[in-house]
Chains A and B, each alone.
Chain A
Amino acid sequence: MNNMSRIAVCDGNEAAAIGVKLSRPDVVAVYPITPQSSLVEYLSKFIAEGELDAELMNLEGEHSVLSALQGACLAGARTYTATCGPGLAFMFEPYIRTPGLRLPMVASLVNRDMLSPQCVWGGQQDVMTVRDAGWIHMFCESAQEVLDTVIMAYRIAEHPEVMLPVNINHDGNYLSYGVARVEIPEQPAVDAFLGPKNVNWHTALDPDRPMAVDPLTGGADAEGAAVFAAYRQSQCRGMQAALHVIADVHADWAEAFGRRYAPLVEEYRLDGADIAIVTIGSMSGAAKDAVDAARERGIAAGVIRIKTFRPFPLEAFVHAAAKVRALGVVDRSVSFGWNCGPVCQEVLGALYRTGRTIPVLSFIGGLAGADLTEEHFARVIDGTIRALEAGPSPMTPETVWLNARGEGAGR
């Protein structure tokens, strides 16, 4: 560790704001929404007090927020915003345009469950709804990881082989308001880590280099549609390149600041494990506690935590999954089309590449702000062990709803 850190006690929203401040964005555009509001209030304060030299744009809605940032990014600015839930829904049109324009933006999603019923509490339905909009998605477990990942996200987004926007996801309530000890890196060390920015070398609002941004592309003539397909292929290449860039940036971070995170998939106590719980986001801590307790009872369980969900880390996931014989996947959201959790559906897709058919159970919990406790994960472990003993079934077993009541409340 070659730099001095300052210690602070703060919640995940303040940790994100501190990470943003250290990344020195030029333009921050915001519209407040629970549970993101305090994050942008911290940023407003940093800018008002002169700690962050950035243009703050208070706009009339999230659609305007991201549209304004597109202009700022095209003009060469490093940008930041944060939103969640219905705000993300209102942002959708510029949201889905951003990766196609290859704008290396960074935005936090303070994950909130989605309407309806009306809900202001945590849940990952917002991000899972946009999981194939073309943004890179990383999920954090702790306030410290939020702070560190925000900074790393700029290096990842602005890498010339990537040039894609990054969402850093941190769970509403549990990470947004959960207070913890964090180490704050020194500004010069962060400056050295990020290096000089260059965000519009490819597409720019520049009178000296006029160009039409986003012209009509496609149509019935084969040539136009082939040009469109070439942009899509390039976007997919950028996503795949992000896998090694994310790994490299995390390795550089560990070297510079002494904190090492699994960049794509974290393997926790998988050696000799029969089964693993697959987690994403802040629930992972309780899952690890449950695994520690199970190990003491002689149950060989582990955790596979997905940090990077988009691009899907196929190789890293298969490496982890190959160590166990059954998986219990816990989702904080619902795939309405598959009657299971979206992460579970992705896991099933990835397992096909291993050529192994192992039992996989889908657990859905933590919706609408519900806590996922060690006790819930003990049930996940028990259920997954039972599925292992029953052997692989050609049919996916019934989804288990944690935190539900009455029928379907799980075993």
Chain B
Amino acid sequence: MSRPRPDMSAVPSDLSPVATELSKMLAGDWRAMRPVVARDRCVKCAVCWLYCPVQCVVEKAAWFDIDLAACKGCGICAQECPHRAISMVEEAAA
């Protein structure tokens, strides 16, 4: 089978297109709309948690909240919330 491979420092940097460092930019850096949870309306039904495509809904003691570093602002949670507990607010206004 294959010989042991050299580490990437032995590979010419212009040989083939690979990236070995992840971009540090998260969705929160470019999100246009931010979900805001009205805690008095939230009943912890977890529908937002189920629907969130990036799984950025986090459980708090008495409500569900959003991890704003990872949220891309798609608004699915606000659309699906049966208690209208989530509203989308423009980032510039937030």
CA distance A199 to B16 in the complex (A): 13
Q: Is the CB of A204 within 8 A of B16?
A: no
Question: Does A339 belong to the interface (CB within 8 Å)?
Answer: no
For the complex, is A198 an interface residue (Cβ under 8 Å from B)?
yes
Q: Is the CB of B18 within 8 A of A215?
A: yes
Q: Is the CB of A198 within 8 A of B17?
A: no
Docked complex Cα distance between A163 and B18 (Å): 15
* Chain A residues whose CB sits within 8 angstroms of the CB of B11 once the complex forms: 201-202
Answer yes or no: B5 CB below 8 A from chain A CBs. yes
Known A-B contacts A201-B5, A201-B6, A204-B5; A212 and B16 likewise in contact (beta carbons under 8 Å):
no
A residues 84-127 near B (Cβ < 8 Å) are: 100-102
Contact flag A214-B17 (CB < 8 Å), given A201-B11, A202-B11: yes
User: Main secondary structure on chain B at its contact with chain A?
Assistant: loop
B85, chain A: closest CB distance, angstroms: 38
A213/B2 in contact, CB under 8 A: no
A211 to B18, CA, bound (A): 6
Query: Could you say which of A202, A206, A233 contacts B16, with CB atoms under 8 Å apart?
Result: A202
Contact B14–A234 (Cβ < 8 Å): yes
Are B5 and A210 in contact, CB atoms less than 8 angstroms apart? no
How many positions in chain A have a CB within 8 Å of any CB in the partner chain?
27
In the complex, which of the residues B2, B13, B18, B20 contacts A76, with contact meaning CB atoms closer than 8 Å?
B2
Shortest A69–chain B CB gap in Å is 16
B22 — which chain A residues lie within 8 A by C-beta? 212
Chain A residues with CB below 8 A from B3, complex form: 196, 198
| B16 & A198 in contact (Cβ 8 Å cutoff) | no
B93 within 8 A of A: no
Q: In chain B between 14 and 47, which residues have their CB closer than 8 angstroms to a CB of chain A?
A: 14-20, 22
Among A191-206, those with CB < 8 Å from B are: 196-204, 206
B15–A197 CB distance below 8 A: no
CB distance from B12 to the nearest CB of A (A): 7
Tell whether A393 is near chain B: CB-to-CB under 8 Å: no
B20 with A210: CB separation less than 8 A = yes
Q: How distant is the Cα of A196 from the Cα of B5 in the complex, in angstroms? A: 12
Partner of B14 from the list A198, A214, A233 (CB cut-off 8 Å) is: A233
Q: How long is the Cα–Cα vector from A213 to B15 in the complex, in angstroms?
A: 12
Given contacts A197-B2, A198-B3, A200-B2, contact A163 B15 (CB under 8 A): yes
With an 8 A cutoff between CB atoms, is B61 at the interface? no
Is B8 engaged at the interface, CB distance under 8 Å to the other chain? Answer: yes
Most buried by A among B5, B15, B22: B15
- Does residue A297 face the partner (Cβ distance < 8 Å to B)? no
Residues facing B in A237-280 (CB within 8 A) are none
By beta carbon, the residue of chain A nearest B5 is A201
In the complex, how many angstroms separate the beta carbon of B2 from the nearest chain A beta carbon?
A: 5
Chain A residues with CB under 8 A of B20: 210-212
| A211 B8 Cβ-Cβ under 8 A | yes
Chain A nearest CB, measured from B15 CB (Å): 5
- Chain A residues lying within 8 Å of B19, measured Cβ to Cβ, are 211-212, 215
A and B contact pairs by CB, cutoff 8 A, 17 listed: A76-B1, A100-B17, A101-B16, A102-B15, A163-B16, A200-B2, A201-B6, A202-B15, A212-B18, A212-B19, A212-B20, A212-B22, A214-B17, A215-B18, A215-B19, A230-B13, A234-B12
B residues neighboring A (CB under 8 Å):
1-3, 5-8, 11-20, 22
Q: A198-B3, A206-B5, A212-B20 are in contact. List 6 more A-B contacts (CB 8 A).
A: A101-B16, A102-B16, A202-B12, A211-B18, A212-B22, A213-B17
The 7 closest A-B pairs by CB, nearest first: A234-B14, A212-B19, A102-B16, A230-B14, A215-B19, A201-B5, A211-B18
